[in-house]
Amino acid sequence: MESVLSKACTIKIQNFEGPFDLLFHLIEKNQIDIYDIPIHEITDQYMDYLFAMQELDLEIASEFLVMAATLLHIKSRLLLPSPKQNKEEELDPREELVLKLIEYKKYKKFTEILKIREKDSERYFYKGPEDIDIKHEDEPLELSYDELKRVYVELIERNERKMNKNTGKMTQILQHEKVSLRSKIRDVIRTLLKKPIFKFSELFSPKTRSKLEIVTGFLAILELAKLKKITLIQQKQFADITVCKCENTDLEDIDEENIAAEN
């Protein structure tokens, strides 16, 4: 193939929307009856286009290659003699392709109409909404006292039903488990009095403490940090937290204050 010709072809290839578009072009150019496509010639021409693209190092979209394979497959099926005896019942291997092309042609026609209509519509101007100061009057919401009360009673009842017969025991267990923030603050201060710097995990280890105690312990150091009694250092996310006593701060008075409050 001559390079001049291949260039001419390639320029066109870039304008094709896809393999159907290209096939369509070939069909129209050769004035072929769409229902009786000479697959042999069309396939050859289609392949020529692809080769031309390849020669110019253009990237060939995979869809074009899939179509090439389809065409070659149809071509080979038409060449091979059919094993079936009744040729009447046999489907034409081109049929699926033809149907797709016909459907594509329909939209292609409509696309041309859209182009024209779009141009016509350019002559119409619209405007935005008028800038009117509309006062929105809030409709008063009507609530019913009985309705509100009913909702609340249902909610309370629903919560009660969730508790089983062992509610009493459970409450005891829970109370037993109850951890006060104050007692944890006291734990932290006691430790600091002995050791001005310690690691959070030394005092609140998952091995010795319950989850609730660890969480409360964490709240305790946050609270003390907020009161500027301690400094917290964490090197990176999820690393152990180092708790340091702030200088010039009296831990004793907190302790007393807290204990006094509790008693």
Partner 1 sequence: MDLKKLEGIVEGMLFASGDRISIEKLSNIIGIDKKTIKLVLNNMIVNYNNNPSRGISIREINNGYQLCSKPEYYDYIKQLFEPRQRSGLSQAALETLAIIAYNRPITKTRIEQIRGVNSDSAVARLLEKNLIRESGRLDAPGKPVLYETTDEFFRSFGFKSDSDLPIFELNDVQEPEEVNQNSGQEKQDTEFEKQEKV
Q: In what order do the strands lie in the sheet with 230-234?
A: 197-199, 241-245, 230-234
d(CA 175, CA 178): 5
Binding status of residue 106 toward partner 1 by CB under 8 A: yes
Binding status of residue 28 toward partner 1 by CB under 8 A: no
Report residue 110 as tokens: 């409509």
Which residues inside 73-92 make contact with partner 1, applying CB under 8 A?
91
- What number of chain residues touch partner 1 (CB under 8 A)? 79
Question: From the CB of 163, what's the least distance to partner 1, in Å?
Answer: 7
Report residue 58 as tokens: 């253009």
Question: From the CB of 35, what's the least distance to partner 1, in Å?
Answer: 5
Which residues inside 40-69 make contact with partner 1, applying CB under 8 A?
61, 63, 67
3-state SS class at 230: strand
d(CA 80, CA 97): 19
Give the helix ranges, DSSP H, for the chain: 3-13, 19-29, 39-55, 62-79, 95-121, 145-162, 167-177, 181-194, 200-203, 211-226, 251-262
Which residues inside 213-242 make contact with partner 1, applying CB under 8 A?
219, 222-223
Report residue 203 as tokens: 């005092």
Candidates 43-51, 111-119, 202-210, 230-238; binding stretch for partner 1 (CB under 8 A): 111-119
Which residues inside 168-197 make contact with partner 1, applying CB under 8 A?
168, 171, 175, 178, 180-182
Question: From the CB of 89, what's the least distance to partner 1, in Å?
Answer: 10
Binding mask 129-168 for partner 1 (x = CB under 8 A): xx-x-x-x-xxxxxxxx-xxx-xxx-xxx-xx--x---xx
Q: Which of 29, 87, 115, 207 binds partner 1 (CB under 8 A)?
A: 115
Question: From the CB of 107, what's the least distance to partner 1, in Å?
Answer: 4
Q: Which of 1, 3, 7, 110 binds partner 1 (CB under 8 A)?
A: 110
Q: For residue 249, which of 208, 189, 204, 202 has the smallest C-alpha distance?
A: 189
Binding status of residue 200 toward partner 1 by CB under 8 A: no
d(CA 199, CA 244): 9
Beta bridge partners of 232: 243
Confirm if 234 and 241 have CB atoms less than 8 A apart.
yes
Confirm if 212 and 159 have CB atoms less than 8 A apart.
no
Candidates 6-14, 44-52, 100-108, 194-202; binding stretch for partner 1 (CB under 8 A): 100-108
Pick between residue 107 and residue 195 the one whose CB is nearest to partner 1.
Answer: 107
